[in-house]
Amino acid sequence: MDVQDDENTQYAAQIGLTIDRNYTISESASRSELRKKFHEIFDYIDTAKIEHFVVLKIDRFLRNNQDLADIEKRVMAGLTVHIVRPRIIWTNKISSHERRRIMFDAFLADDEVFQLAERTREGMEAKIKRGQPLRAAYGYWNDQNTKTVLVDDTRSGTAIRIFDLYSTGKYGVDAIAEILNSDKILPPSGVAWTGATIHKILNNPIYCGRIRFKGKIYAGSHTPLVEADLYDKCHAELSRRGHKMERRSYPFNGLMVLKNGSLFSGETAKNHIYYGARTNGRGSARIYIRESLLVEQLNQIIGQLTWTPEFSAEIRTIAKEILRDREKSLSAEIKNLKIRLDKIENQRARLLEYLLDHVLTKSEYQNKKIELDIDYRETVESYTRAQEGTIEQYNRIEYVIDTFENLPSLFKLGSNTERSRILSQLAHRVIISDDKTEIQIEFKKPYSPFILPGLPQIISAGLPVRKSAIFRPLVDAVRTAMAA
């Protein structure tokens, strides 16, 4: 299951196996593409009663927690997974050290998803600081060639008209929506203008040459549609009419659910953030948890999740093994890329000779040169990344280990966004019973017990009626589990 099918085939032949079917997964495959391919693989394993599964590298097929859970379930049922690099045979009788090695590699693969998301956010923020909007608002369009936002001549007049009408103080957002609908002007989306759409436009500083990102305002390099004074006047009018001007952040959204399936969502009341969920489906009855109380109790829970010195030493030993194996893999990749670069250089030199000897026409020479230049540039980029790969992998592994060695203090001192990120890596969800008598934290299976040794996959506790102690039994349950 890799582009290096020959290496897998050679390994299989060495141990007396015959490859029945090959699967290739692209490095750039999206998460949905991966899931589709894995479903195809697992379905074939189950229906054909496959007993052996050969994969080149661990991190090529353990890219998220669900993949790992699916494959481990089949291993426990008798499937043998052969990992070519490094040479590990994963069975239901594997040693604890080798299993931890597999789990740690899986965790690193899962963590890479979070790291990629963070790098994407950093790239977005850098673009904003350069004055470039991330996307075009109504009245603008995205120029894919220049990667810039330009004025849309067919819609910009409507956006300007919205500001002009609202600034008079005679029209509210709903009245402006009715005017545009009566004039049969197409809305940004849907079939009709609404007050919410008008409000969104009036509250977007992109129209006066500014960009709002994470609650901060930056100067934009795009062309404004209205003067800053007009935008500020409309902004003040929105405030006077009582419209909310700022969006609240609810980082714990989606992490807590009731057993009836209702998600907890954030809302603000009396300057406090609460998370609430419906207790009876579509009814109005809700249970609420204040965010400050949630954070306080989570700090106490996470405070119990620490590595022992012995466990930390074993993980560092495993990390050295992983780095050593990856260095070998990268060394081979660098060698192959160097051969590739030399080959392209020779082709470029011969290409000029062919032109001088009139073997190629000038047009053929130029087209072929462009192809070789692109190939050379891409190969150089791959070569540079491979050379830097060992250092990058070392830094990432050190980051993961340091995070879990210092998890309680990092969680306590971090922002709520950082706490949410840590919690989402440790647990699938926090479940609260519909009658508000029990709470459960369901840790990710199967590597959370490995990352946090001593904990069962699910910790349950009674949920008391007193709001001030809503998570206290859970803390006691964690302590009991850690002591055991």
Please identify which residue in the block is written with the tokens 């673009």: 127
Q: How confident is the model at residue 10 (pLDDT cuts 50, 70, 90)?
A: confident
Place of tokens 């085939």: 9
- pLDDT confidence of 463, banded at 50, 70, 90? very low
Q: Is the pLDDT of residue 204 over 50?
A: yes
- The SS3 call for residue 154 is coil
As beta bridge partners, residue 278 has 286
176-180 long-range contacts, CB within 8 A, separation 24+: none
Mean pLDDT of 63-77: 79
The C-alpha atoms of residue 2 and residue 33 are separated, in whole angstroms, by 15
- pLDDT tens per residue, range 209-228: 999 887 789 999 999 999 99
Say how far apart CA 196 and CA 232 lie, in whole Å.
Answer: 19
- pLDDT bucket at 472, cuts 50 / 70 / 90: very low
Q: What is the CA radius of gyration of the chain?
A: 29
- Residue 351, SS3? helix
pLDDT in tens, 268-284: 887 888 888 877 655 55
d(CA 209, CA 265): 33
Contact 248, 273 (CB under 8 A): yes
Mean pLDDT over the full length of the chain: 79
pLDDT of residue 464: 41
Average pLDDT over residues 377-388: 78
Q: Considering only residues 297 and 469, tell me which one the structure prediction assigns the higher pLDDT.
A: 297
Element containing residue 149 per DSSP (H, E) = strand 148-151
Pair 395, 405: CB distance under 8 Å: no
Query: What pLDDT is attached to residue 211?
Result: 93
Strands (E) across 433-473 are located at 438-443, 458-462
Digit-coded pLDDT (tens) for 140-155? 998 887 778 999 999 9
Question: d(Cα 416, Cα 294) in Å, to the nearest integer?
Answer: 10
Is the pTM here over 0.95, yes or no?
no
Residue 328 has pLDDT above 80, yes or no: no
